[in-house]
Amino acid sequence: MRTVLITGATSGFGKLLTEAFLQNGDYVIATGRNLTERNEVFSFERKNHPDRFMELTLDVTQKSEIAMAAATVANRLGTIDILINNAGYGLFGALEDLTEEEIRYQMEVNFFGTVAVTRAFLPALRQTQGKIFNFSSVFGFMGFPLTSLYCSSKYAVEGLTESLRGELAPFGVQVCLIEPGGFRTNFGSNLRWSSPGAQSAYHAQFMNYKDLHGKISKRKPQQPSEVSEGILRLSLQKRLPMRKVFGKDGRLSYFLKHCLPSRVYFTLMDRVFRMVFLKAQT
């Protein structure tokens, strides 16, 4: 029986991953913010898997909570076999329209949170020659207008993970990037948008993109179980790939970015951007 720790496990991919690994017979440590005040979140797991389930309050931006979680796991279980850094959110808006607080918090959650949690559990993972899955995104390998900070945070996770692959290999610890496209999760409802006034130079772009994003969200895109079940299968492999792209849109985006000549790719994307962001408001 393996021990799996999942951050951001209260909803979306994290909740599905919790269910998938429990069904596989693993011991799951599900973490999330303010869990002591939300007993209903894991009521099913608590009732049906009392011997293989632990829930811990863990805000990845709080050093004290990370340290407490690592100490609790060490005292109760000793080590872990798999760490899944899933906690994160999206911040969309033009760079000039974002506040410094918004910018810094985006990086604190998506990047520095991943760094801090990984550092805290690396000693345990070295003992077990464990595996680390870091959630990136399609926006972790392709930039997109009005997503500069979200893209930056995920690009940073990509650089971190690629570097750790070689750094941790001598200890038998493997790492893998998870790069999902658009899936039916609560990402859209948790998405944070900037608040540009009508005087913003980016107002038209912003309104066009927000309108497009809303239309796409209503189309009920790909099922998120593809990701949770895919990660479970990856975890059972002897060797992890450097990255795994999920979703038809994700695979198409990866092909366009990495297989087309750079000049062709950016010419194509410039045309798309003009159609999406610079159309006349009606």
Q: Residue 162 — left, alpha, or beta (φ > 0 → left; ψ -120 to 50 → alpha)? A: alpha
Q: What are phi and psi of 184, to 5 degrees?
A: -80, 80
Strand partners, 193: 92
d(C-alpha 26, C-alpha 35), whole Å: 21
SS3 of residue 61 by DSSP: coil
Residue 112: strand, helix, or coil? helix
| Listed residue (139, 174, 173, 177) closest to 158, CA to CA | 177
CA atoms within 13 A on the CB side of 265: 15
Residue 192: φ, ψ to 5°: -110, 125
Q: How far apart are CA 57 and CA 80, in angstroms?
A: 17
Residue 181, token pair as written in the block:
């496209």
Amino acid occupying residue 240: L
204: its two tokens? 């038209």
Active site members? 136, 150, 154
Cβ proximity of 16 and 135 under 8 Å:
no
In contact, 206 and 94? CB cutoff 8 Å: yes
Instruction: Note whether 114 and 134 are within 8 A (CB).
Output: yes
